[in-house]
Amino acid sequence: MADAEVKRKTKETDINVSLTMKDNSAIKIDTPVPFFSHMLNSFSFHGGFSLAIKASGDIEVDPHHLVEDCGLVIGSAFAQLAAQTGPVKRYGHSIIPMDDALSEVCIDACGRPYLVYNVDYPQNFAGDFDLSLIREFMQGFANSAKINLHCISRYGLNGHHIAEALFKAFGIAVAQAFRKSDSITPLSTKGQLA
């Protein structure tokens, strides 16, 4: 049984997501963009949760719509999870190396969407995947999950390594931030988030 399920269909994309936080034994990533599927698999596996996604879209035009909308739908699943489970731990942070690259992600699941994306790729593409689309995914996720999301590449020589370290760090940070809190009230001196 999934902890959260979200479906979104537009004239450009058709995306179904289910999310289970207890383990990562049921990851199933099905998109028509192989490098992006690889990143989502790393995100889920290293986060320790099961993400099942079936996505299709107008990639003959450009993968942009599909990648951005996946961010929106996956982020919505985490927002749904937080709404159902009550107060979450709120903060998550991870720094991950991958060969020449070191990537960092910090999250505040505070109900106020904001993205800081300080990532430069030495190459514009990983295979035929435009690495600039990762920012669009992160923006969509931050907006729909209602989180403050900071993505930083400290350094790296290979765009694939930078991106993969980033998605691994993202999975770990998301899992930390969205863990159920022992507190019965939101972790805020205001008494509420957002």
- 4-177 is a CATH 3.30.230.40 domain: yes
pLDDT score for 181: 80
Domain boundaries, the chain: 4-177
pLDDT score for 186: 55
pLDDT (mean) for 87-109: 97
pLDDT score for 27: 98
Cα 65 to Cα 105, 108, 139: the distances in Å are: 24, 26, 13
Q: In terms of Cα–Cα distance, which of 12, 183, 17, 15 is closest to 2? A: 17
Q: In terms of Cα–Cα distance, which of 148, 181, 131, 170 is closest to 48? A: 170
pLDDT at 190 over 90: no
pLDDT score for 99: 98
Rounded percentage of the chain residues whose pLDDT exceeds 70 = 94
Which stretch of 29-33, 74-78, 80-84, 115-119 has the lowest confidence by average pLDDT? 80-84
pLDDT score for 160: 98
pLDDT score for 1: 77
